[in-house]
Chain A
Amino acid sequence: SQQGEEDPQALSIQEGENATMNCSYKTSINNLQWYRQNSGRGLVHLILIRSNEREKHSGRLRVTLDTSKKSSSLLITASRAADTASYFCATDAGGGGNKLTFGTGTQLKVEL
């Protein structure tokens, strides 16, 4: 079953703009990870944030985590056409082999 929802389901922006996508989840977690998936392909790991962290940066990516609200956001700054993809958040609740529970994804389209 899906852990939670991502918002928005789809997002269309112009190149150079920032893209923000949100993820909500239901249970306590060890960490939350964001993945990118290009059409019909596998998942590429972007960034991981632990439950005791509030914000993390990696290049043009910024992730926040609010465990009290069980939510996270991913910000992509200065977007490029190559950022066009689906983005998924995934939670690791620990135990059970640290399997990941994914959200429903946000489809991002960056137009030239």
Chain B
Amino acid sequence: DTGVSQDPRHKITKRGQNVTFRCDPISEHNRLYWYRQTLGQGPEFLTYFQNEAQLEKSRLLSDRFSAERPKGSFSTLEIQRTEQGDSAMYLCASRRQGQETQYFGPGTRLLVL
């Protein structure tokens, strides 16, 4: 198994710009999750997919955020009109349905100036 990969690992952007992150889950993992982690806190759930269907979105996911998983494999998370409060680590995780463990990627650290 290759692990969950995320790209880029770091992103610095100016306020108001759009950014897009990519997550490649472990192959054959049909569930994919996005979490956000701010400094000194635990990760917080944002959204999850089962195959290509986005089944739940947290209230943390404002309308500036959009996530897709078009073919049920990789996923993208886009933030439009970034704000300084969006600065955080964005973590992706995947798991196979029926198994309990979620496997996390290395995260994308976003800094909005």
Binding site for B on A (CB under 8 A): 1-2, 30-31, 33, 35, 40-45, 48, 50, 88, 90, 92, 96-105
Q: Are B44 and A2 in contact (CB under 8 A)?
A: yes
Q: Are A102 and B43 in contact (CB under 8 A)?
A: yes
Q: Are A103 and B42 in contact (CB under 8 A)?
A: yes
The segment out of B12-20, B68-76, B77-85, B105-113 that lies at the interface is B105-113
Give the docked Cα–Cα distance between A44 and B4 (Å): 11
Smallest CB separation, A100 vs chain B (Å): 6
Question: Contacts of B40 on A, CB cut-off 8 Å?
Answer: 104-105
Question: Contacts of A97 on B, CB cut-off 8 Å?
Answer: 31, 33, 48, 50, 55-56
Give the docked Cα–Cα distance between A33 and B45 (Å): 15
Question: Contacts of B106 on A, CB cut-off 8 Å?
Answer: 41-42
Question: Contacts of B1 on A, CB cut-off 8 Å?
Answer: none
Name the CB-closest residue of B to A44. Answer: B104
A98 and B100 contact, Cβ closer than 8 Å, known pairs A41-B107, A42-B91, A43-B91? yes
Binary CB contact string for chain B from 1 to 24 against chain A (1 if under 8 A, 0 otherwise): 000101000000000000000000
Question: Contacts of B95 on A, CB cut-off 8 Å?
Answer: 98
Binary CB contact string for chain B from 37 to 52 against chain A (1 if under 8 A, 0 otherwise): 0001111110010100
Q: Identify which of B35, B45, B89 gathers the most chain A CB atoms within 10 Å of its CB.
A: B45
User: What is the size category of the interface that chain B forms with chain A?
Assistant: 20 to 34
Give the docked Cα–Cα distance between A104 and B39 (Å): 11
Question: Contacts of A96 on B, CB cut-off 8 Å?
Answer: 56
Give the docked Cα–Cα distance between A63 and B41 (Å): 22
Question: Contacts of A42 on B, CB cut-off 8 Å?
Answer: 4, 6, 91, 104-107
Smallest CB separation, A15 vs chain B (Å): 25
Name the CB-closest residue of A to B46. Answer: A99
Q: Are B56 and A31 in contact (CB under 8 A)?
A: no
Smallest CB separation, B51 vs chain A (Å): 12
Binary CB contact string for chain B from 78 to 103 against chain A (1 if under 8 A, 0 otherwise): 00000000000101010100001111
Give the docked Cα–Cα distance between A48 and B101 (Å): 8
Question: Contacts of B91 on A, CB cut-off 8 Å?
Answer: 42-43
